[in-house]
Amino acid sequence: MAVTGLLLPLLASIFAPEAVSATGACAQKGIIDEHTVWNDGMTANLNIKFPSAVTSWQVKMTFDHALSDFETWEAVASTTDNVVYTLDNAPFDGNQPAGAELSIAFNAYFSSKPEVTSVTLNGVEQCGGGGTTLPPPTGPTQPQPTGGPTNPPPPLPYDYQEVLEKSLLFYEAQRSGPLPPDNRIPWRGDSAMNDRGENGEDLTGGYYDAGDHVKFGFPMAASMTVMAWGAIDFANGYAGAGQSDYVKQAVKWGTDFFIKAHVGDTDFYGQCGNGDADHAFWGRAEDMNMDRPGYKITAGGPGSDLAGETAAALAAAAVLFKDSDPGYSDTCLQHAKQLFEFADGHRGKYQDSIWDAGNFYGSSGYGDELAWAAAWIYRATNDQTYLDKAKGFFQEFSDLNGRPSEFSWDSKHAGVQLLMYQLTGDSSYGSMVTQFCDWVKNEAPRSPKGMVYLNMWGSLRHVGNVAFICLGAAKNGLNSDAYNDFAIQQLNYILGDGGRSYVVGFGNNPPVRAHHAGASCPDAPAPCGWDQLHTSEPNPHVLYGALVGGPDQDDAYEDNRDDYIKNEVACDYNAGFQGAIAGVLSLY
């Protein structure tokens, strides 16, 4: 049973972690570096050095007796006896140059404190058997946890696995272009089959943005980056729910479109469909007959934010597919690098080039997207050049160092701060992350029922996004218990603790009138038009998994299709929310 509420400060004072020094041969050689030990666990680092370059690695770590549990953030751990643990590289840290030093943070749980008796790296003894002596690392290359989890998470009152499955169904309902043979949304069909660029380029595919049918590239790319991030870092949450293949398909549907839209080194289509023309139509995507122009950025009409965000999405996809589809991973990475060079070498806001986007998804700046893209490419390549670039952007754009007020399709500041901490272990980035999560947890506005309220537009989108960031912070050892509890509390509000479910097709009294044109239309060939927007009848089709905008600061909400502030749905609404759901599942 989890220890929460007023008991936690009391127990913390009794069983407060204390700094320790490891003993034994592996500790004496600097390979094991313990940080804190509490009543039934410890946080430590495993420090290894690579004498030659590798593209993958495996460590075997043996304890002197069985553990009750073990967890790490920089490797894939497995064991058959809870004594010998095999650590295989994570997708983002397999490539290591000669002389590289890697510090792998881990938590070990036990009934009596263990010692590490031996460590091997790729079959070569490092300690415990007279192996090569390794000096302690000169500087951390991976995060140093400052507050690892000490308590098991509380039982979940809602079926998070069902939520994850249905959220992925929502993305399938948002697909544009020719649908695959395994389409699971029976009321959807092929649509926007004539989407073309200025020179006839094929621009079919991708995702419709929200309840409308425009393909807005900027928020689409942001959604894919966040979805891929969750699929990488919370892979076991997806796996446990049986959704690993589906989330990869969802990401690939977006990145396939980005690759198709990248028609030249400095030519990228960032929008299909005119916003005003589209919003003058209420009906099925399959029935659209208006002109759907393609809008692009070029060297003469740049968009650093759009190109940078798309580069980040493709680099994240490169990490996600590195093991399962290395050829596709390489293709994504090639486009990511080209788009980053375009973004950095030709500076400008994308709405100055794609004028229609400014009416709907105007960008506040591009410094965060440049840093975001560089950090993601570094994660995909381990090329120091890109990490140096990312660090340089923190110096060039001072707002990257401040406390963000949100994490969203427009503002990646909180995300890039967390990613940089994850990649470097630099405490300055960690301080930025804790400043943000402490603020949303303790100081940000709240509704009477406890919802963090950051914006009237998509209030629950922001709830899901901050939960995702703080779960990521917890995973990387930052105030883990507090941030995990906070994220679960916020997600439970969405799923029912707020008085009802705000996820279509899930839980108690879910929305049935989501502001979504396609779901509001009856089956063809029945006509569909503006009457379907204004009727009080439930949508004929259940838009499974869609997160609606949500209530106001007083928890007030009406399931009204005409209220697009509270009842619209969007791809970016679900991205962080879905990742957070997977993050909670990964704790179990």
Q: Could you list the active site residues?
A: 212, 515, 559, 568
For residue 48, list its beta bridge partners: 102
Q: Tell me how far apart the alpha carbons of residues 436 and 407 are, in angstroms, rounded to a whole number.
A: 10
Q: Tell me how far apart the alpha carbons of residues 445 and 486 are, in angstroms, rounded to a whole number.
A: 14
Tokens representing 254 are 């977006």
Q: DSSP label at 219? A: H
CB atoms within 10 A of CB 104: 23
Tokens representing 467 are 């939960």
Dihedral of CA 566/572/576/578: which sign?
Answer: positive
Amino acid found at 76: V
Q: Tell me how far apart the alpha carbons of residues 586 and 107 are, in angstroms, rounded to a whole number.
A: 15
Q: How far is CA 42 from CA 111, 299, 586, in A?
A: 11, 53, 20
Tokens representing 478 are 């930052």
Contacts of 430 (CB under 8 A, 6+ apart): 143, 146, 421, 476, 478
Q: DSSP label at 120? A: E
Tokens representing 423 are 């990649």
Would you say 96 and 383 are in contact if contact means Cβ atoms under 8 Å apart? no
Nearest to 254 by CA among 317, 195, 206, 185: 206
Would you say 340 and 308 are in contact if contact means Cβ atoms under 8 Å apart? yes
- Where does 280-412 have alpha helices with state H? 304-320, 326-345, 367-381, 384-396
Alpha carbon 451 to chain centroid, angstroms = 21
Would you say 403 and 439 are in contact if contact means Cβ atoms under 8 Å apart? yes
The interaxial angle of helices 459-475 and 480-492, nearest 10 deg, is 150
Q: How far is CA 74 from CA 14, 104, 282, 533, in A?
A: 31, 6, 48, 49
Q: Tell me how far apart the alpha carbons of residues 256 and 6 are, in angstroms, rounded to a whole number.
A: 50
CA atoms in the 13 A half-sphere facing the CB of 396? 14
Rounded to the nearest 10°, the torsion over CA 87, 91, 96, 102 is -50
Helix (H, G, I), strand (E, B) or coil at 175: strand
Q: Tell me how far apart the alpha carbons of residues 142 and 93 are, in angstroms, rounded to a whole number.
A: 10
Residue at token pair 């992350």:
433
For residue 75, list its beta bridge partners: 89
* Angle, CA of 540, 542 and 548, to the nearest 5°: 115
Residue at token pair 């089709």:
541
Phi-psi map region of 30: left, alpha, beta (phi>0 left; psi -120 to 50 alpha): left
